[in-house]
């Protein structure tokens, strides 16, 4: 497994915001303490190029984001803070996802986890939203398409609807998107009726669930709907927007998963990649705001992926 982690993500200073520097500090400490740093391949990588970002974002927005960061602008949207280090952190985060895609394309590895921040799945083509400035998973999926992966499946199990990602691929038949999320809840989108449009109709699948939904129901619905879409889409690569804010202890989520459910879910998603796309899986950090439980969930997630990966037959 490829592991992307860096203390550079600590430069995205958001002050007392829930999406704070301590999140990634604690993840990085866990990766070291639990031995993931030693067990995984840890590539060095470049920041995303403007060309890679422009596949998903408007040039004008990228220029504005750069300017905000240079000016240490602070709160640029009701929930999103941009500081001096934000541009570099965001570009290096998106770059990690693209580098993972490059290495999967070159068959250097099959699975990757990107321990990055700021998160990305709410970021719109032309605006920041909900703690997110660059849509990392959308940039990664479009990079995969540019290399020659024909069809891409994105699974999003963050407790919030991945509205930015949904918008990126709304009418795209080659990029499937499944999101399970609490509803009604921030950002207010993600109803069953939102299924994509035009050639992309049906390639977007939303699974809205009420607060306090039992974990076993949450995971069963996710598996059911994702496998149905995977069967129809036949993806060449799988992406996971891995938020960990559906954990029972999360201060914002209101759902009921425990840390060990993320091991089960990690094993399931990696097995899905084995079954449908040669094991190719790029997982990246989105939300998760409990400073102790979130790193514990990442640890469980990596253990789950490793279990499934070690049981897969060589290609
Ligand atoms: Zn979230």
Calculate the average pLDDT of the chain: 97
Under the banding of pLDDT at 50, 70 and 90, the label for residue 75 is very high
From residue 119, alpha-carbon distances to 20, 81, 134, 158 in Å are 11, 12, 8, 11
Active-site hit among 122, 181, 247, 261 = 122
Instruction: Show Cβ contacts of residue 296 under 8 Å, excluding neighbours closer than 6 positions.
Output: 30, 259
Is pLDDT of 290 > 70? Answer: yes
Question: How remote is the CA of residue 158 from the centroid of ligand 1, in Å?
Answer: 5
Which CATH number do you get for residue 157?
A: 3.40.800.20
Q: Kindly tell me if the per-residue pLDDT of 195 is higher than 80.
A: yes
pLDDT, tens only, 140-152: 999 999 999 999 9
State mean pLDDT over 115-122. 98
Q: Looking at the predicted structure, is the pLDDT value of residue 314 above 60?
A: no
User: Quick one: pLDDT band at residue 310, thresholds 50, 70, 90?
Assistant: confident
Cβ-proximal residues to 270 (8 Å cutoff; 6+ apart), any chain: 111, 279, 281, 304, 305, 307, 308, 309, 312
Percent of the chain with pLDDT over 90: 98
How many folded domains does the chain comprise? 1
The neighbour count for residue 120, using CB atoms within 10 Å, is 30
Mean per-residue pLDDT for 281-293?
Answer: 98
Task: Please give the residue range of the domain that contains residue 132.
Answer: 2-311
What are 177-187's pLDDT values in tens digits? 999 999 999 99
Distance 179 CA to ligand 1 centre (A): 11
Task: Please give the distance, rounded to the nearest whole angstrom, from the Cα atom of residue 125 to the centre of ligand 1.
Answer: 19
- CA 164 – ligand 1 centroid, Å: 12
Averaged pLDDT, 19-45: 98
Among the listed residues 285, 277, 274, the one whose alpha carbon sits nearest the alpha carbon of residue 307? 274
pLDDT for position 313: 54
**Which pLDDT band, with edges at 50, 70 and 90, does 311 fall under?**
confident
Give yes or no: 121 in active site: no
pLDDT of residue 312: 65
In this prediction, residues 258-282 reach a mean pLDDT of 98
Q: Decide if pLDDT at 315 tops 70.
A: no
Cα–Cα distance between 130 and 119 in angstroms, integer?
Answer: 9
Specify the pLDDT at position 66: 98
Distance 157 CA to ligand 1 centre (A): 9
Residue 228's pLDDT is 98
Residue 77: pLDDT above 70?
A: yes
CB 223 within 8 A of CB 265: no
Reported as a single tens digit per residue, the pLDDT across 42-58 is 999 999 999 999 999 99
């Amino acid at each position: 497994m490829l592991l992307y982690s860096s203390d550079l993500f600590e430069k995205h200073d958001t002050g007392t915001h829930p999406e704070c520097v301590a999140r990634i500090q604690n993840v990085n400490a866990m990766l070291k303490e639990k031995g993931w740093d030693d067990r995984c391949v840890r590539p060095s990588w470049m920041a995303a190029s403007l060309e890679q970002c422009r596949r998903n974002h408007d040039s004008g927005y990228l220029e504005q984001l750069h300017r905000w960061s240079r000016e240490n602008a602070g709160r640029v949207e009701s929930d999103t803070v941009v500081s001096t280090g934000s541009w570099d952190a965001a570009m290096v985060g998106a770059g990690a996802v693209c580098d993972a895609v490059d290495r999967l394309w070159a068959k250097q590895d099959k699975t990757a986890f990107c321990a990055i921040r700021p998160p990305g799945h709410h970021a719109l083509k032309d605006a920041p939203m909900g703690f997110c400035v660059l849509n990392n998973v959308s940039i990664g999926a479009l990079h995969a398409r540019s290399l020659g992966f024909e069809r891409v499946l994105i699974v999003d199990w963050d407790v919030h609807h991945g509205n930015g990602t949904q918008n990126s691929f709304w009418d795209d038949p080659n990029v499937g998107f499944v999101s399970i999320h609490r509803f009604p809840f921030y950002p207010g989108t993600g109803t069953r009726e939102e299924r994509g449009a035009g050639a992309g109709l049906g390639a977007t699948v939303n699974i809205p669930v009420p607060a306090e939904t039992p974990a076993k129901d949450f995971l069963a619905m996710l598996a059911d709907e994702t496998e149905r879409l995977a069967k129809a889409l036949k993806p060449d690569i799988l992406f996971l927007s891995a938020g960990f804010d559906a954990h029972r202890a999360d201060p914002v989520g209101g759902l009921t998963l425990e840390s060990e459910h993320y091991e089960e879910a990690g094993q399931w998603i990696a097995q899905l990649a084995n079954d449908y796309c040669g094991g190719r899986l790029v997982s990246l950090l989105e939300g998760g705001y409990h400073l102790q439980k979130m790193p514990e969930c990442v640890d469980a997630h990596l253990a789950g992926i490793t279990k499934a990966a070690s049981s897969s037959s060589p290609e």
